[in-house]
Amino acid sequence: MFLVLPGFSGQTEAPAAVLGAAVDLGCGAVGANHPISVARGSLPPLPQRFMCGPHARGAVDLLSSTSALVLLWSDGRAHTSAPAQRFLGTLDLDLGEGIMRECDRFWPHYQEVIRNRKSCILDLAVDCIENDGTRQVVVLGAGMDALSIELCSRLDCAVFDVDSAGMDRKEQLVGPLARDLRGSLRCVTADASKRASVTSGLGGAGWSREEPSLLVVEGLSYYLTAGDLWGLASGFATPNRSNRMILEYLLPTSDIPEDLRPVASRPFDLIVKEAYESVIPLAAFPMPHHPPGLTAEDSLWAFTTRYGPGDVEARAAGLGGAVLSRHDMRSMEMRRTGSNAVFGERSGWIEVCKIAL
C-alpha cells in the first residue's frame, strides 16, 4: 500500500511505511491509503529509498524498507510455488535489513508471527476456493505480496489485487509468469479504504457480483476506521452468505499477554522513526483515532483500530454474516509447524477470522 503525498513535484508516491506494509505484523506490502494534506513545497523531498513510481531508481524500488522487512521475515515460506518465488526474486529487499536487525534484537521471533499468519491466510483461502465454491478472490492493499500469485499457481480462480499505487508495475512483473498460472490475476488501482473506489475498480477489471467471492484483508484493518472496513465488507455481503472474508486484525491491549505488549508495539515505533520522523510531521498521519499533537515520542500503536473476538462477531452479524472460524497465534503456529515452540501457553497480538458474508 502507498501513501500519496501531495506537494512534491510530479506528486511523489511514498510507500506507506507507517500505514500499511509497515507493520505487517500485526503483508506483504499493505496499508491504508489516505492522502495527507500539506502545503505545496512545505516538506523536504523524500529520501530516495522511500520513493517509488516515477521517482524510483527502478522496478525493485517499488518496496519501502518496511515492506521489504515483512517479506524478509516471511522469507518465501508461505508462497512457495515456482511463479511466486520467481516474482519475489525480482524484488530488492536490502532496504529492510536495518529495521529487521533492530526488531530482531528486541525480540527474535517476529518472523514466526509473519510466517504463521501468512500460512494460515493461504490455507484458509485455498479452503474457500476448494470447498466453499469461491470463484473470485479480492486482496485488499495487496502491494507486492505474492498471495495472489500463489493462489493462481495452485488453483483455477480469478484473483484481483487492489491497491492505491504500484498495480500497473506489479501487473508488468506478473506478465511473464502468466503461462505458468492456472488462474487469472488482475491488478486494480483503487483506494482500498473506500467501498465505492474498490467496487468501481473491480467492476472495470471484470469482477462479477454474481460469482461467489472471497475478500482478503491482511495487514490493513489496523489503519482503517471500523466504518471504512465494515463499509467495504458490506459491499460483499449476500442474502445467502455465499461470500467469504478472511480478516486479520490486532487484539485490544487487554487481550495481549502483558510481556508481549511492548513486543507488539515496538515495530510501530521503529518504523515511524526510520521512515518519516524527519520528513512528515507525525500529527499529519491519518490514523483512525488520531489525537492532535502526536509527536515522535508517541507510539502509533495506541491509535490503531483493534478488535476483540466479540467485536468481529458482532460486526459480521450486523451485515447478516457469521464468523466461521477464528485462529489465534498459538493455533496458527501449531497449524504451520506442528508444535508451539514460541507460542506455548499464551498467544500473541494478532488473530485471523474466516467470515461468511
b/e burial code for range 306-341 (CB count within 10 A of at least 16 → b): bbeeeebbebbeebebebbeebbbbbbbeebeeeee
Indicate whether 118 pLDDT > 80: yes
- At the topology level, CATH places domain 2-356 in Rossmann fold (3.40.50)
Does 292 or 250 have the greater pLDDT score? Answer: 250
Query: Using CA of residue 89, residue 90, residue 94, residue 95, what is the dihedral sign?
Result: negative
Alpha helices (H) along the chain: 65-74, 82-88, 97-106, 110-131, 147-154, 167-174, 195-205, 226-234, 261-275, 309-318, 329-337
Q: Cα 229–232–236 angle (5° rounding)?
A: 130
| Residue 41's pLDDT band (cuts 50, 70, 90) | very low
pTM: 0.81
Residue 87's CB: how many other CB atoms inside 10 A?
A: 23
Alpha helices (H) along 81-210: 82-88, 97-106, 110-131, 147-154, 167-174, 195-205
The per-residue pLDDT for 299 is: 63
| Residue 212's pLDDT band (cuts 50, 70, 90) | very high
Give per-residue pLDDT as tens, 122-172.
999 999 999 999 999 999 999 899 999 999 999 999 999 999 888 998 999
Does 306 or 284 have the greater pLDDT score? Answer: 306
Q: Which three cell numbers stand for residue 197?
A: 473506489
Indicate whether 49 pLDDT > 90: no
* Mean pLDDT computed over every residue of the chain: 79
Answer yes or no: are the C-beta atoms of 145 and 173 closer than 8 Å.
no
Give per-residue pLDDT as tens, 161-171.
999 888 998 99
